[in-house]
Amino acid sequence: MGSRFLFFQSSLILFLSALLPFNFNPLLAYSLKNCTVDYSNNVTWVGCMDRGLAAVPDDIPKSAVSLNLNSNCIAKINTTDLSGLSKLRYLQMENNWISQIDDGAFSDLEFELLELDLGANYLQNLTDHMFQGLWALITLSVEKNNITYISPLAFKSLISLRTLVLRYNRLHQMADIAPILQLPNISELILDFNDFVSFQSDDLPLTFNKSNLKTLWMIGNQLTKFSIKRNAFPNLQTIHLTAATGFEWHVPDPMFLRSLTFLELYVFNVSREMYRAMLKSAESVQELSLSFMETERNKDLVDIACQVPALKSLHLSGDVFVSINETFLQSCSRVIWLDLSYNYLEELCEFSLGSMKQLRRLDLQKNSLPRVPLGVRGVLTLEILDLSLNVISELGCSDFLNLTRLVNLNLNGNRISTVKGCVFQGLNDLKVLNIGENEVHVLFDFFKVNLQKLEVLDLNRNKLQQLKTGDFRDLTSLRSLNLESNAFYVAHEGAFEGLDNLQTLSVTPFCYEMSYMSRIFTGMEHLQNLQLNETHFHVVQLPFLKSFVIQNNDWRYEISPDFLRGLKSLEYFAADRFFTASPHPDTFTYTPHLTSLQITQSDVQVFNPQVFQPILNLQALNLSRNKLRSLDFLSQVNLSLLSWLTLRENQLTVIDETVFQSLPALTYLDLFGNPFTCNCSNAGFIQWVKNNNQTQVVNAYQYTCSFPLAEQGNKLLDIDIQSCWMDISFLCFISSTCVVVLTLLASFIYHFLRWQLAYAYHLFWAFLYDSRKRKAGAHPRYDAFISYNVDDEAWVYQEMLPALEGEQGWRLCLHHRDFQPGKPIVDNITDAIYGSRKTICVISQRYLQSEWCSREIQLASFRLFDEQKDVLVLLFLEEIPAHQLSPYYRVRKLVKRRTYLSWPQAGQHTGVFWQNVGRALETGDAPTETVNLLTPRLAPEYRD
């Protein structure tokens, strides 16, 4: 039997090894309102224990494999409560108020659920369809209810059921359990503390054939009769029951219990004859446990028990023995394992175990033995001896004399103060020695005896004052050593020499001579796990060390940057009350394989991001119980593999959720116990907690407010954050609506009003330039400015110029000839119009579509309408329908209100046409809307 220290260390390593390689699925880990999710190794474990829940939460992940709802206030399981949880295998609902379960409530769990715990509730009846469809269920517990009735069809669907727990109910007749006994795979039935008064095969129905039951528990019932008269239980291997006054045992044929190997009896006032009959019909029993026997008849009952031919193990624990004499166990010569624990033993006589020539294991824990019993010395075959939790104060050199086969010795929890080397002389096969939790302060040549096979040594919680040179030198096979203590002791140079194969070492706290500080662990090249309480040290080459735990209670030293040098295989490092500030950036340079880091209770306020630069493989980080006020350092280092982050009980008031964007693998975040500020400064974090589907913020819905004072005690996630910003979705709706409307409006305008817009644009510029020129008041240089389109240039040069300039002598202004080079074209047009008395517009369809021509006619029209000057002469080169003039409002107005000259109407009379143009040029600036020009042409629809 291993020591508790070995078990603790092994459990720790297994826990760490399971924790560190977690392969979280980010799609299945998120924050729940009343539960936590532990997702590891492709299994989702959901815990909702002790949350005051009145119903099953509706946000349980559909991928959940295990769901724990213990210790809540759930009163009913409805049909829809567990719907969709088709992958659930383990469901625990113990200690609730459940009094009703709807038929079909577990229907969605039919193919996967393996274990169901409904213990400590208020169920009274198990109805026909309560467990309908649970074909795969293996274990069912309905203990500690008020069950008085079980329907014959209640367990019909449970064809895979192996273990059924019905203890602490009010069942009282065989008819209640007969259907259970006939389940095809039933193996264990626990009926402790019910109201049964008998267990008889005759009470089973005639249709009952055989049961596959292997283990039957009926302790705490008021049984008066146990009777099996037919071969109804051929596979029954274990029986636990209470035999009270008047008890009758009737098994006429031992073959009916031929498979029985373990029998536990709580015997009260049973006659010697009945007791003998019980054991006679159970002749195949190998392990027998007898408890609470009457003191005056103990010897007789033990004698009868040891006459069972197959008996190998005898348990007499929990009785009232004070001493064992030479004859008490005289008939138990075939027993291999004797258990006398939890009695009041003060002494085992010297020859009390003398007849037990095959005894290999002796349990004497939790008694009142003041010394190692004399009766132990003569048991030459003993391999395991447990003397823990007694009151032994001293070990003598002859206490374990002749126990040469002893492999495991447990002396934990006594009052031993001194240990001499001679005590263990001759225990050459000893592998496990536990002397923890005693008062040992001195080792007198403790291990200088031949203990070369010792693998586990536990000396924790003693009062050692010193470890001398060579104390462990001869323990060459030692793999685990626990020297943990609450007091400091001195380790002299060479104290750990010879421990070449040591893998686990706990030496907290101890001190040593400074001269050999760097050599304290020399030679422990196979050490894998180290725990100590010291800061003033230097760990040398420990190439295989994987786990290193260090803590310091009160002392404060400056930590050397290279104190982890030589630990190249280190995977787990925990420092508690150790650092006084952020570790040096080079601290973890020597541990490139570190995957789990814990720095707690170290008063660190700010971490230097460079500390984490050498350990980019970090997967788990615990910085709880420091004084951190910001997490900005996490965003400055690439911890792409970090999946587990614990920051409990720091001074974090405002959380910047963008920090977690730099942790792409983060799936577990614990911020419990921080003084959160409940206002808009945490709005982003609150929204991130509620909406992110990767990181589970553990117990986030239980985080409480510390600031401002008006919010103290309220829940962080309950505050209203809508007022912190405008509704983005609403803004997006408004924006998209405006874009759509503007797009439609622009398309409509372009299709139907593009020419009107172009006209308005030119009109606006004409207004600006007209205003400027009116202020300038320039004297005309030309008689007329000719406004025409470049496509009509040939007509201007071939027809107009010869007639007006050549024959009539007018001074005309033309684009190509009179515009000033290098000057903006708009300025040239403006100067030409305002530098001429008249403007002749040579209008054609191409003219109307020209941008520059439009500017020219609009500017000229401003002089006509806004200055009331007759400056515009319209000359049409071709017939233009009225509908093509409608986008050009002012041109249309001019055509309607004035006469104009038409070149197509002149026909062969061009001379008359040019005379009319000359007459138009001779008129003054006064308005002449009704002046009659020769060969006038009015648009038909505008004629008066």
What kind and span of H or E run contains 596? strand 596-600
Decide if 124 is inside a domain.
no
Tally Cβ neighbours within 10 Å of residue 512: 20
Dihedral (CA of 103, 108, 114, 117) sign:
negative
Q: What are phi and psi of 150, to 5 degrees?
A: -125, 120
What kind and span of H or E run contains 896? helix 889-897
In SS3 terms, 449-494 reads as CCCCCCCEEECCCECCCEECCCCCCCCCCCCEEECCECCCCEECCC
Distance, in Å, from the CA atom of 330 to the CA atom of 333, rounded to the nearest integer, reads 7
- Chain-centroid distance of CA 911 in Å reads 100
Residue 372's contacts (CB-CB under 8 Å, 6 or more residues apart) are: 387, 392, 395, 396, 399, 400
Nearest CA-CA partner of 573 in 563, 630, 499: 563
Rg (CA), the chain: 51
Is residue 523 left, alpha or beta, with left meaning phi > 0 and alpha meaning psi from -120 to 50?
left
Per the omega criterion (within 30 degrees of 0), is the bond before 252 cis? Answer: no
* Secondary-structure percent of the chain, ordered helix, strand, coil, rounded to 5: 25, 20, 55
487, two tokens: 């007091």
pLDDT tens digit string along 801-844? 998 888 888 999 988 888 888 888 777 887 888 788 888 888 88
Distance, in Å, from the CA atom of 105 to the CA atom of 84, rounded to the nearest integer, reads 11
Decide if 422 is inside a domain.
no
Distance, in Å, from the CA atom of 154 to the CA atom of 160, rounded to the nearest integer, reads 14
Distance, in Å, from the CA atom of 662 to the CA atom of 309, rounded to the nearest integer, reads 71
Residue 298's contacts (CB-CB under 8 Å, 6 or more residues apart) are: 319, 321, 328
Distance, in Å, from the CA atom of 514 to the CA atom of 602, rounded to the nearest integer, reads 25
608, two tokens: 């230097």
Torsion of CA 103, 109, 112, 114, to 10 degrees: -50
Decide if 817 is inside a domain.
yes
888, two tokens: 């050009």
Torsion of CA 628, 632, 635, 641, to 10 degrees: 10
Nearest CA-CA partner of 96 in 145, 139, 137, 153: 145
Is residue 895 left, alpha or beta, with left meaning phi > 0 and alpha meaning psi from -120 to 50?
alpha
Could you write out the DSSP letters of every residue in 218-267? ETTS---EEE--SSS-TT--EEEEEE-TT-EEE-S-GGGGTT--EEEEEE
Distance, in Å, from the CA atom of 466 to the CA atom of 490, rounded to the nearest integer, reads 4
Residues of the chain with pLDDT under 70: 1-29, 292-296, 509-518, 534-540, 553-557, 726-728, 753-756, 758-763, 765-778, 851, 854-855, 857-869, 883-899, 924-944
Decide if 908 is inside a domain.
yes
Nearest CA-CA partner of 419 in 377, 385, 465: 465
For 740, which DSSP code? H
256, two tokens: 């009916």
Decide if 445 is inside a domain.
no
Mean confidence (pLDDT) of the chain: 85
For 780, which DSSP code? P
Residues 551, 555, 558: CA angle, nearest 5 degrees: 90
Decide if 912 is inside a domain.
yes
SS3 call for 540: coil
Distance, in Å, from the CA atom of 938 to the CA atom of 929, rounded to the nearest integer, reads 13
Distance, in Å, from the CA atom of 226 to the CA atom of 270, rounded to the nearest integer, reads 13
Distance, in Å, from the CA atom of 850 to the CA atom of 788, rounded to the nearest integer, reads 9
Distance, in Å, from the CA atom of 180 to the CA atom of 924, rounded to the nearest integer, reads 125
Query: How much is the pTM?
Result: 0.72
Nearest CA-CA partner of 271 in 309, 240, 244: 244
Decide if 877 is inside a domain.
yes
CA atoms within 13 A on the CB side of 487: 13
Decide if 788 is inside a domain.
yes
Per the omega criterion (within 30 degrees of 0), is the bond before 509 cis? Answer: yes
Please give the tally of structural domains in the chain: 1
Residue 671's contacts (CB-CB under 8 Å, 6 or more residues apart) are: 647, 648, 652, 655, 697, 698, 700, 703
**Per-residue confidence (pLDDT) for residue 769, from 0 to 100:** 64
Could you write out the DSSP letters of every residue in 101-133? E-TTTTGGGTTT--EEE--SS---EE-TTTTTT
Residue 854's contacts (CB-CB under 8 Å, 6 or more residues apart) are: 758, 759, 762, 848, 888
Residues 793, 799, 801: CA angle, nearest 5 degrees: 80
Distance, in Å, from the CA atom of 678 to the CA atom of 654, rounded to the nearest integer, reads 9
SS3 call for 687: helix
**Per-residue confidence (pLDDT) for residue 937, from 0 to 100:** 38
Distance, in Å, from the CA atom of 819 to the CA atom of 345, rounded to the nearest integer, reads 130
Distance, in Å, from the CA atom of 414 to the CA atom of 534, rounded to the nearest integer, reads 28
Mutual angle of helices 851-865 and 825-834, in 10-degree steps: 30
Measured over all CA atoms, what is the biggest interatomic distance in the chain, rounded to whole angstroms?
163
Distance, in Å, from the CA atom of 229 to the CA atom of 656, rounded to the nearest integer, reads 75
Strand order in the sheet with 248-250: 198-200, 225-227, 248-250
Give the CATH number, domain containing residue 914: 3.40.50.10140
Give the domain range for residue 895: 749-942
Only one residue has tokens 């050498």, namely 614
Nearest CA-CA partner of 926 in 861, 870, 857: 870
